[in-house]
Structures are given as structure tokens and as C-alpha cells.
Amino acid sequence: MPVLSPTFYQHEDVVLIAKQLLGKKLYTKIGSDPITGGIISETEAYRGPDDKACHAYNYRRTPRNEAMFLEGGVAYVYLCYGMHNLLNVVTGHEEIPHAILIRSIIPTHGLETIARRRKKNLNDPSLMIGPGKVCQGLGITRSHNEMSLTREPLWIEEGEEITEDKIEISTRIGIAYAGEDALLPWRFILKCS
């Protein structure tokens, strides 16, 4: 499958892109390890300036979230709870801090490598369900922050067409502090699989 072009990420509606990312394929090639990756099956949109759940709410800019202010099509990786790397896809244009959290992946490539990184069995159903697990399984760390998503070691390819009836929509996870914005239906899940 061809790599997703930068124009895909530069659309201004981050919520729409979050939905469209379902079914796309995320891969990593870390060091001498085989390619690891799979199908994106859960995403959450974070809409910078006007979203209280977003690190860049009200254009708040810190060394940590600098990546969100870059042109769409790069990775924003940050440390959460002192121990987990979380991967986001930056969208929109320069200075517009939009990002999409990748919450889960259906693994299709490099299963053995993923299982080894996760210290789990090959057939463990929870191999990459959860944003911290995705990064651990694919070997993504903060060293990948601000990297392009169009080439090694970290990239996203086109996938099968996803129809509306396969998409489940709900509220976002773990952001109760965001008040009313915690109720926004900005979480997208690929059904069944």
C-alpha cells in the first residue's frame, strides 16, 4: 500500500481525520528488528486551541508539545504517568496545534517482535489495545517525537476502505479534568475485527 501523503494530514478538521485514520496501517522499523505494525483500530481527536483536554489548549506552548505546532504529518510522542510513551499524529497546518491519539492497533506484521517487546504471548488479545501498549509493542519512544510519518522508521500507509457502519463513536478516555469537553464524541473505534 502507498504511504499516506502529507496532504491527508493537512486538512483542517482534526475530528474528520481521526475518523479517516481508522483502517490505515501504521508501521515501524526499529534498528535491526523486522518491520512491526498493523491496522489502526482506535483514535481520539484533540483539537488544540478550543479543547480543554488538549495539551495545547488556548495555544499553550511548552517544550513538550512543540510538535503539535508543526505542519501536519509528523509524530507527537510524549511521556505519560512517568512511564508510558503515547503516540499522536499531528494534523492541520503550522501553528495550529491539532493531534490524534492512536489508542489501539490490530497487529499484522512482526508479531513475534511485538510480543517480545510487550513481554506477552503471541496470541495475547491485549497486545496493542491501549495507547501505552501501542508504543511499547511498536518500539516507539520520545526519540520519535517530531519525526515525519512518511518514511522509516515510522510511517502510515493507506488501508482498506472503512464504511460508516463499522465505526463506533464515543467519548474520550481519561480526561475527566476537561469538564464539558470530556463529553465530546471524539473517540473512534473500528468494530469487530
Partner DNA sequence: GAGTAGATCGGCT
Partner DNA sequence: GCCGATCTACTCG
Asked if 55 interacts with DNA (CB under 7 A), we say yes
At residue 67, what are phi and psi to the nearest 5 degrees?
-60, -30
54 contributes a contact to DNA by CB under 7 A: yes
Does position 131 interact with DNA (CB under 7 A)? The reply is yes
Distances (CA, A) of 130 to 40, 96, 173: 11, 26, 10
Torsion region of 120: left, alpha or beta (phi above 0 gives left; psi -120 to 50 gives alpha): beta
Cis before residue 97, ω within 30 degrees of 0?
A: no
Residues forming beta bridges with residue 155, ordered by sequence position: 27, 150
Q: Tell which one of 7, 32, 62, 193 touches DNA (CB under 7 A).
A: 62
**How near is the Cβ of 106 to DNA at its closest, in Å?**
15
The residue range among 32-40, 50-58, 107-115, 161-169 that interacts with DNA, by the rule CB under 7 A, is 50-58
Rounded Cα distance between 62 and 121, Å, is: 39
- Measured from the CB atom, the residue of 34 and 179 that comes closer to DNA is 179
CB count in 10 Å sphere of residue 32: 5
Beta carbons within 10 angstroms of residue 93's beta carbon: 14
Give the list of residues 6+ apart from residue 61 with CB closer than 8 angstroms, or none: 69, 97
Minimum CB–partner distance for residue 67 and DNA (Å) = 10
**Member of 133, 139, 184, 190 binding DNA (CB under 7 A):** 133
Total interface residues for DNA by CB under 7 A: 34
Closest of 104, 139, 86 to residue 24, by C-alpha = 104
Q: How far is the CB of 163 from DNA (least distance, A)?
A: 26
x/- mask, DNA, residues 79-108, rule CB under 7 A, reads xxxxxx-x-x----------x-x-------
**Cβ proximity to DNA, 30 vs 134, nearer residue:** 134
Among 177, 180, 192, 193, binds DNA (CB under 7 A): 177
Interface residues with DNA (CB under 7 A)? 44, 46, 53-55, 60, 62-65, 76, 79-84, 86, 88, 99, 101, 118, 120, 126, 130-134, 172-175, 177
